[in-house]
Structure 1
Amino acid sequence: MAITPRFDLEGKTVLVTGASRGIGRACALACAGSGADVIVGVRGLADGAALAAEIEGLGRRAVAVELDLADLATVRGAVGAAVAAFGRIDVLVNNVGVGPENLAENVTEEDFDFTVGINLKGTFFTTQAVGRLMIARRSGRIVNISSQAGTVTLKGEAIYCMTKAAINHLTRCLAAEWAQYGIAVNSVAPTFIWTDGTRPSLSDPTFHAAVLGHIPLGRIGDPIDVAGTVVFLASPAASLITGANILVDGGWSVA
């Protein structure tokens, strides 16, 4: 029996959705840096090609595939292209998520359908497509990027919070169903993270101070904070973990 846990991803092939920026980009690079070949799932292939080239510069294989969770045909196409390129998908990182902000009384049907369509429908059917391959191979890891919003309440984010709570429970349901096939399913729930999307809000001193007031560890997260947890859950070191939701929130949920 090994006495030292393995935290690397040597020999693994990882598909990261929404990999062009922010948390998805950090996850793709962290997986490559840990030894994995990476399928870069993006809506714009130009951005994906640049990231794939960066990953290849790290000595790993990479391919960019068009993947838009609002268009399930691209999901099926992306999974097929990934298998054609690498023969299998060992790890799926479901990173894509949207959250248009609006007070509950002002949410429109369009807002609702868009958020639920991407965060739940798109995530589920991406997972199903990859899960079928993993079931056939009787092996796999799935890591869903959830949010602290699935555990705590955020004003103006009722629909987003609802979808992330659903992702947490979907994680548990799939973990229970697919354990028999050797598939582990977990989720990672970040707090506010410095990304291109959050930077305008977090750069406002008042908003920044309000956010920090909820985080006992006293700082906004960086994408690598999330990526490190993803790599751990995908690695051999986490081989007995499934159905877990790991909060990367600096203590927000327990404060």
Structure 2
Amino acid sequence: MYLPSFSLAGKTAMITGAGRGIGRALAIGFAEAGADVILVSRTRKDLDEVAGLVQEMGRKAYTYAADVTQKQEIQSLYHSLDTDHIPLHILVNNAGMNIRSKALDVTEEEWETIINTNLRSAFYFSQEAGKRMKEAGYGRILNISSVGGHVALRTGVVYASTKAALIQMTKNLALEWGKYGINVNAIGPWYFKTPLTEKLLADEAYLNDILSRTPLNRVGELQELVGPAVFLASDAGSYCTGQTLFVDGGMTVYGF
């Protein structure tokens, strides 16, 4: 019997950026797979909505409104988990953002904002999770990277740099923490229908340009990220670590 290994029953998963888009889809998908879910985002309203959907499936939902760029808030969040005796088996570093400036136009503020949101937060969330997972002798960490961390895109040099760094961080943490029973992997999406891409994809010329570089000739649906994420977070993916799975409609076959 192999299919039961895809179940997340008995596990608790923390997802950052859980209020919208990819994070929201993964939270609901993980709950469907049997996990209780720790939802992290800045916006309380979004968190409460997702928590309600998780609870309707009979799973527990814990919500934490926090600024993921602030180390002190991250540490305070984990302290709350410890105080409330909430276990942590899976961490999904999903929180991210982009400012589509060309390299010559990037400001210091843009650089700091993107680096702090996409990379700094993922490291400090992983560091705190790693401490607890090491003690437990078990853990799964999943970083949401991007095809932009693997191939060159025409704008978004800072975003691409953070996503490439996430791929390398995934490898390094997998190497360092494998002996503790912690698997660290990443997913690299291409274009999916989210609130952040909605306006871009509404531009017909832009969409056609994207599709011309996508062998499957369409953008992704959010539910198509759930299966790969559940695989890497579950016992089905127990011999995978340090890997980045590109869920990209074939885009990285030949790049941008």
Q: Which TM bucket (shorter chain)? A: over 0.9
- CA shift, 1:46, in A, is 2.5
Could you tell me whether the CA contact under 8 Å between 1:101 and 1:156 is conserved in 2? Answer: yes
The answer to whether 1:220 aligns with 2:210 is no
- CA shift, 1:85, in A, is 4.0
Q: 1:249 maps to which residue?
A: 248
- CA shift, 1:87, in A, is 2.7
Q: 2:152 maps to which residue?
A: 153
Q: 1:140 maps to which residue?
A: 139
Runs of 4+ in structure 1 off by over 6 angstroms are none
**Aligned counterparts of 1:222 and 1:123: Cα–Cα separation in 2:** 24
Change (3 A) 1:120 1:4: closer
Q: 2:14 maps to which residue?
A: 15
Structure 1, 110-119 or 8-17: larger mean CA deviation: 110-119
SS in 2 for 1:38: strand
Could you tell me whether the CA contact under 8 Å between 1:89 and 1:130 is conserved in 2? Answer: yes
Q: 2:199 maps to which residue?
A: 200
Change (3 A) 1:142 1:3: closer
**Aligned counterparts of 1:188 and 1:85: Cα–Cα separation in 2:** 30
**1:56-79 per-position Cα deviation (integer Å, ceiling 9, x unaligned):** 110101110123222222211222
Q: Give 1:186-197 correspondences, 5 Å limit.
A: 186-197=185-196
Change (3 A) 1:3 1:114: closer
After superposition, the CA RMSD in angstroms is 1.3
- CA shift, 1:100, in A, is 0.5
Could you tell me whether the CA contact under 8 Å between 2:187 and 2:229 is conserved in 1? Answer: yes
Structure 1, 221-230 or 81-90: larger mean CA deviation: 81-90
Could you tell me whether the CA contact under 8 Å between 1:40 and 1:65 is conserved in 2? Answer: yes
- CA shift, 1:86, in A, is 5.0
The amino acid of 2:109's aligned partner reads: E
**Aligned counterparts of 1:219 and 1:50: Cα–Cα separation in 2:** 29
The amino acid of 1:162's aligned partner reads: S
**1:118-175 per-position Cα deviation (integer Å, ceiling 9, x unaligned):** 2111111111011111011111000000000001111111111111111000000000
Structure 1, 228-237 or 178-187: larger mean CA deviation: 228-237
**Aligned counterparts of 1:75 and 1:232: Cα–Cα separation in 2:** 27
Q: Give 1:167-182 correspondences, 5 Å limit.
A: 167-182=166-181
Length, aligned pairs only:
254
The answer to whether 1:25 aligns with 2:24 is yes
- CA shift, 1:110, in A, is 1.1
SS in 2 for 1:6: helix
**Aligned counterparts of 1:125 and 1:238: Cα–Cα separation in 2:** 24
- CA shift, 1:84, in A, is 3.8
**Structure 1, gaps ≥5 residues long:** none
**Aligned counterparts of 1:36 and 1:86: Cα–Cα separation in 2:** 16
**1:151-202 per-position Cα deviation (integer Å, ceiling 9, x unaligned):** 1111111111111111000000000000000000000000011001100110
**Structure 2, gaps ≥5 residues long:** none
SS in 2 for 1:216: coil
**1:15-41 per-position Cα deviation (integer Å, ceiling 9, x unaligned):** 000000000000000000000000001
**Aligned counterparts of 1:184 and 1:129: Cα–Cα separation in 2:** 15
Sequence identity percentage: 37
